[in-house]
Amino acid sequence: MEGTLLYGQSGGVTSVINATAFGVLDEALKSKAFDRILVMKNGISGFMEGKFFDMTDADPRKLEILRELPGAFFGSCRKNLKIDEEFEELFKVFEKYNVRYFLYNGGNDSMTMAMKVHEKAREFGYEITVVGLPKTVDNDLVETDHCPGYGSSAKYLYVSVIEGTLDVKSMSKDSTKVFVIETMGRHSGWLAASTVLARKYTTAPHVILVPEAPLNEEKFLEKVEGVLSKEGFCTVVVSEGIKNEEGNLISKMELKDSFGNVQLGGAGLKISKMISENLKVRVHTAVPDYLQRSGRHVVSLQDLIEAEAVGRKGVQLLLEGVKGVMVTIKRESNEPYVWNLGFVELSKVGGRTRELPKEYILDMDISESFIKYVEPLTVGNFLPFYTERKYNLSIFEK
């Protein structure tokens, strides 16, 4: 089928999502199979306004800079099409540019969006091949062993825990005694759990709180007090989505994004307040927020390699005529770490959340077995260009 290939970035970004973009563009340009190659500017939101980058004649050598850039270079969005009229408008824009191949790169809500585009296209009789490309630091997409972006954020966080712990340890004699760090993780504790890797170099984190395990305030304070008695300092990792025993979020705001997700924030501060008021010790709180998902200076090389491979696989599936699927990463073994790529129907992914398995969760802690899962995803380094040299980024302007 002749036509235009369209690629878009959606949802929260990662430090390696642009590596996926490079994989897509480099593979597509090499194939010479598409009439045009377009990249959405700010995802579906921008493309419906006619905003895009035409990469049909791009120089692959200049595209290599994408491997080194965090964030979503082409712009992301949180656009959620809900009614038939919106999809009808989208297909009109698709028709205008003869879009017949669509790759959408994102997390849970983005895969739901890709699924809807695939299903609505069939309803409206619009011929198009849709493939989803996974991306999320939360690592909560189902049907894949893990998601591009997770390994690098995990690395950023466990390194931060090491460094923050050494800081609080050095100050604990007569100053700060507890260091609290809040990680992302709305519904699942994959990121908070990854900080267990810091124990290869220090005794921290001493407490890890995840959404899958309700918080008992009394037991929590007893544990922190016990660590303080033994070590003189304590590092606590808390996921933003932790809940109390009644199932209520410890902290949430009244704001919602366009996907309908409640904006979270302040869980770390609430935990810190709980400690300081009850144990009468000085607490320091860190909220990495965007830093943990865009920390390109400590990117995992393995994560970057897989992110690029996912983009290439997406193009290959388009050329094979595989429709309505998401690329998946399959793990063959841990030692040595062996992986390959596959795919799964988008209908099995959209609207579902992959929680941290119970076998990895202990009492306010994470099991040693989890290390075998997460460690291979954080291996290797690839310094970004802005630590060594400069590039002219204007080559992508429309």
**End-to-end alpha-carbon separation of the chain, Å?**
27
- b/e 109-121 (16+ beta carbons within 10 angstroms → b): bbbbbbbbbbbbb
Say if residues 308 and 135 touch (Cβ distance below 8 Å): no
CA atoms of 209 and 362, how far apart (whole Å): 10
CA atoms of 327 and 23, how far apart (whole Å): 13
**Residue found under tokens 């306004």:** 49
Which residues make Cβ contacts (< 8 Å) with residue 367, sequence separation at least 6?
Answer: 359, 360, 361
What is the CATH number that goes with domain 4-148+298-352?
3.40.50.450
**Closest alpha carbon to 73 in 50, 108, 124, 39:** 39
CA atoms of 233 and 165, how far apart (whole Å): 9
Per residue of the chain (398 residues), give pLDDT as tens: 799 999 999 999 999 999 999 999 999 999 999 999 999 999 999 999 999 999 999 999 999 999 999 999 999 999 989 999 999 999 999 999 999 999 999 999 999 999 999 999 999 999 999 999 999 999 999 999 999 999 999 999 999 999 999 999 999 999 999 999 999 998 999 999 999 999 999 999 999 999 999 999 999 999 999 999 999 999 999 999 999 999 999 876 444 444 455 555 689 999 999 999 999 999 999 999 999 999 999 999 999 999 999 999 999 999 999 999 999 999 999 999 999 999 999 999 988 999 999 999 999 999 999 999 999 999 999 999 887 666 555 555 54
Catalytically active residues are 138
Chain region(s) in the chain for CATH 3.40.50.450: 4-148+298-352
Domain 156-296 has CATH 3.40.50.460: yes
